[in-house]
Structure 1
């Protein structure tokens, strides 16, 4: 039962991990919830999972630095408890040290901002001492993590570069951002500790250790400090240049030692080459280049054995033939006499019997007690001749291989005999009529069978058909959103490139424009003639029709970013206008026969709705967007100009309204009178628009300006007369 509960618990924890990986904002809640579950008294599986999850949490770049700093104080007691357990699992300790390495900079920065939080720093110090105790005696995976922790401590407790002294929170975490008067973080003590830990790291290289795992881990950690800490870079680089991986192989060059030396040599060379690539003018560039060349040459001399002669063997090796043994003066070992296997099926006893003595071969060993057999076998094996044992083993192996080959050959022959067997059968002559009757009687078939047809599927209801249609439209819409927008290649001549209403919707579906045309025509031309009967935009159950659903998708898609998607709206409205005119033309043709047909029109309603959604978000710099929209839609009506005229109510956008109307007056003659009427009303109503609107009306409707000036002059004249009368009376 406990095992089942453990599996369920691990499954729930894994679900929580997947949840935070999809949304990093949930990390604080999940970490707070799992800390009681992964404590020191929990099951080993839970502690392993929890330590791995916390290491992953503080190494995840998706989690904000401020949240990591807040969680550090919460996680630190659990980390200390797991490290204080001397009998803790190595995997848990390894993960916990990685957590401590990630937490150290956050705790350090927290103490800088909150010098009164002395308890948190004491907990971090205890964790540091516990890790340092494991540095020399722990297994290799734990020691590698300890090296990483030491590198992090030295990196933080060494002065780093200051990018902006006015913003210490944005600078790199180091003692350079610690105030001189900090009560807890005393800079001289921190620098001394960092120097001692750096010496401890460099000891592995100074002693020319042959432990390739520790040497490579140390070199990889030192590479970061060489790049970011100039104050200690020269000391580290000097130690690396004095390190010689080839001197580590004091004993014979075994294959294991060769792999270790080659690994350390490659890591050392990679670190130095990386430094030279980043800084070609490094002060020690010459020494590093000479060191790399000397290291490469020494490795070639040690590992290249192709030009060396083979050394003379000190003593005769095993496996010499009898002719060479006579010359070397070595006694020829006696050859065992191996009897042949008996014919017929053989048993395992016959396979392992190598003697011709009938008494020995017929003796039943089961009659002896097992204790006596063990004593006899141990005594015999201690005195057996090694050469005789090898000959007996080879003889049994040869027997077994021979039996296996013979068995495979016998099976193949049996299969060939079965395949070659063909019974001789001469059927009698049977008339054709009897053959048909016999076939029908055997298979139970009628003489003539009709064609097979699948049953028709049940008819779909209106709601089901609407749901399927809307789902298909949404898939096409997703294809349109995901399609790239790229221009058509020059020189291509096919039907899909024809512009205007005659272009093909499905001619080339590799661009966004083609998918827009297809989606728009699904909404406009597909239901043509079907909506005339009802004129409704919704089904019986209240759900929108497929065409209305597509129009709503287009409307929302355009409003999400109308400045970059205004061309989609223009294409859509052009198709709506064209479809309305085609439907009106078809209705007028049918009305000549005496039947009145009502045609639902969509252009006027959707252009006003789209314009109403765009206008509230326009500012004074969007004149190009509005002018392009009004100049490229197929028809500009009085309601459209009325919506544009509402922009004059805003003093900041009155010039946008006047510029748009001016453009339409100049370049859209069918809408000129409507625009002039609107401009005249703006001139009379809004005084802040008169300077800009007056310049346009002076060319097209000068009498409006004169009438307005006369009307403005009358109150001024009356005011002057009244003032003169008052003066005369006084």
Structure 2
């Protein structure tokens, strides 16, 4: 009876569906009527029908967006109940996730307009978290729906185009229409969540997953954001261009893997073709075209067996077998006769003897000098027929394998006898060399087991040799740094770019120039710090520079070759030098004792910053203010000698403005060095008359008394005319 009632209910619901399909204006009434009968307590068939109907409702373009927005707030409690039900059917879960993906934008716009609707946004957030929790562990049909939902969330919480700022209701639903002072929607949190979900979506492509279903679903969802979200389009496009379906071939090429790779390749190519059709003048059009051609060629080479040439026929190593030789009239090489081994124990001489001539067998080769034996052996080997040599080698191998098999049969004993017999381990290391040679048996069957072979330790290197090897290694690392093109690292959670400062890893990745620079700089600063502190010198015994000094010289020359583009290398280097100097000073002060009160450590920052600055200043012109200002603003410490070098620019009338602008910048934005810079400006003002107009503007604000004193000194002094007794001004 219950089954009959259920069938009647399904027939009535189907009639209601046909009714709303003919007239979309009836959707609100039908949706309100079916919500009570498709809840968690309803039959499974009703829940399946209801979730499928709601998914169809919010995807129907005939229903206006305003009515969808009103219905979205109504169906949220029912959707949350269906998702929170642990034993829910997979079909129902699929439909509910599709409904959530369709109404997310409508709920988002509704909350923007009604800031007091906090409960609705909390329900949508709970549904979102439930769906994201299923994304990695659910079956494939549910995971595909989760990917679509994540795409809709990222699309909504990413800034979109604003067609008319005066009519926000007419613009596309995105985070761009959210007011800055919204009570519920916090823009930074929404942007951060969208960025994290986008990274989670792109992980499938970045890891070169072999799951074609998830990869194709992700690519199809990314195509929409490539077209409508310019802020994240470059990131998505770079990820697609780095995706290679061929890398998913980890095992044998089965028909299933062949279909998967072809499917992923065609989907990636279709996405890029769609982008090029909509924007033929795309900045990365050439790169996308090259990627598609390269991808098609790789798949053809890896998968298409019909395009390959037929492999060479299986031929014997000597070129022809006996049958072909007979047909082609080729002479068959003579076969070497391999005599059988004599019975009994076999020596090494008998094993390798293939001749039956008694005279040759009994000849003692030790009677000949070694150099003559070497000459004879080289001459004979040069004239030996390769076929004959191969036959002889195969004959000796067959002899050896037969002897090993025979020895294995003779050494087999019953298990009971093995327990009673005891044989101590052979320790060849305890036997002297001469004794081992004397006791070595000549019988093959009684050959002892050899011990481990160890190469002798190399002789210790002198200080000069170690320095030479170290300098060569440093030069090779420097060549790698120069040859590596600059490529900014992709920023992401837990990547190298997040670990900034002196604590960053030098060897995090060797595909960027920054990593090689960091490693090379630390080879010069941190690695030999304690050694230099103990030695107190920067040269070896032979007068050549140490490894660290050699690296510093390489860096110095490399920066001066093109200091405008390589100034960042110099800044990185000098920061490491300053940091290392401070560490060494701190360690020296903590370890200084009464017995060694004069303990000092070599400091490198002051000398190298002055040397590098001295090499750069002669080549600066009036347009290089950004280079000099950046250098002086990013080096860790400004000292009087540094400002003394900068002051020399005031001697050149064409570079006076460059000098004053640099000092003015340091006065404003480097308070610790402000007084030193003002002293330098005051000295320039008093010394160089060409610099007074520019320097006077700075000193007027920071040290007006200097300007007043100069004006008072230049003012005319009164004098007295002694003849007439009248005071006049001269």
TM-score, normalised by the number of residues in structure 1 = 0.42
For the pair shown, which has the larger CA radius of gyration, 1 or 2?
Answer: 1
